Chains A and B, each alone.
Chain A
């Protein structure tokens, strides 16, 4: 049995349209069965309706004020320009930040090509990295690399390769930064020499000494008893590893620039 106090709470909720479900059904039943409840409902309904009647009692004349306010509201134009400028600034800052983050990400992914070149040179001379094509022909090597690399790489051709102090032994692909780099193996004065070529987005030249020659920065370094010459030119990064007894930095340049065609 629900007491009259609860019924009164329910009546108020019912009159305010906030009673639903079982409680609503129970209330309807009580009202039917209990005279006292029906009386409270009537009195409360009369009271609430009396409050509602007062709504129209406020008969202050706001007509002029209202007409003027309506005019002002209709004339009002939202400050789109300001919003547009704010949005543009936010967009510009967002684009700049994304650009900076991409730049940082891109450069953090680049690796030191000189170090990779030395590693591959050592593995190559230890026989752990066999050549995939063995030939002394520049054109055969260039054709073999064609379509295997995501970048365009061709060895320079010279009229009489047999007259050069170096000899091409062959080439292969090596993994680099989820991609491939081109490895070309040479021999000069009986000593092995390795050229590693990669796109600049994957690798950077590196060395303790920097020499600028014909607007190209050459980096010179020595690691594990090997000399490394690295540089970036025409969209590609190169690293040349050698260990000549009579050390001369200019000597390895012959592989690309032929004997006597360029001076360093």
Chain B
């Protein structure tokens, strides 16, 4: 059983690093966070049963560690701007185009990194790690309805931020 969990932890390292890097924005902090997450998970793996969702459990541990770390460093919680300016449905960029256009990818990446942490993390959990709404709800410890609305706002905010940067670039 513990060998199986260890294997799942190893298989999740890339995802954890990606999430940690997105959240901390710093390579060294991301490594520390992942290291600490894996150590805590190994110490507590006896509490899991055969059907536990190990990946979601690891993300929950990591998020709690990260929140505690932020509290320790006395960083005030990031204020979420709930108002979305000029909600535009327009998205005329083809993902194939994005794949070949390096500059465009960098702009979208910048827009993602500029988002408040709350929006950034929900987009990473959904579109990078493919967690379902209910898994995200457990990881973020919030109701399913909040996941839906927050994800919606995060998408709109990303679109808006990207378009602002893009338009500025065009001028």
Binding site for B on A (CB under 8 A): 8-9, 12-13, 16-18, 40, 43-44, 46-55, 57-58, 60, 62, 65-66, 69-70, 72-74, 76, 78-79, 83
Contact = CB atoms under 8 A, between A and B. Distances in A.
A245 B97 CA distance: 121
Given A57-B105, A73-B9, A78 B45 contact: yes
Going nearest first, the 4 A-B pairs with the smallest beta carbon separation are A49-B95, A47-B91, A43-B91, A51-B127
B13 A47 contact: no
A54 B108 contact: yes
Contacts of A54: 105, 108-109, 112, 127-128
A186 B98 CA distance: 112
A52 B9 contact: no
A62 B31 contact: yes
Interface of B: 2, 6, 9-10, 13-14, 17-18, 21-22, 27, 31, 34-35, 38, 42-43, 45-46, 89-95, 98-99, 105-106, 108-109, 112, 123, 126-128, 132-133, 148, 151-152, 155, 158-159
Question: By DSSP majority rule, is chain A's interface helix, strand, loop, or mixed?
Answer: helix
Contact of A50 (B27, B34, B45, B93): B93
Contacts of B126: 16
Given A53-B95, A54-B127, 11 more contacts: A43-B89, A43-B92, A46-B95, A47-B93, A47-B155, A50-B91, A52-B127, A53-B98, A73-B9, A73-B38, A78-B2
B91 A44 contact: yes
Contacts of B127: 48, 51-52, 54-55
Contacts of A47: 91, 93, 155, 159
Nearest to B144: A18
Nearest to A62: B17
Nearest to B92: A43
A2 B17 CA distance: 42
A43 B46 contact: no
Contacts of B46: 78, 83
A69 B6 CA distance: 11
A55 B128 contact: yes
B152 A78 contact: no
A54 B106 CA distance: 9
A69 B133 contact: no
Contact of B21 (A16, A50, A58): A58
A12 B123 CA distance: 13
B10 A18 contact: no
B91 to A, nearest CB: 4
Nearest to B87: A8
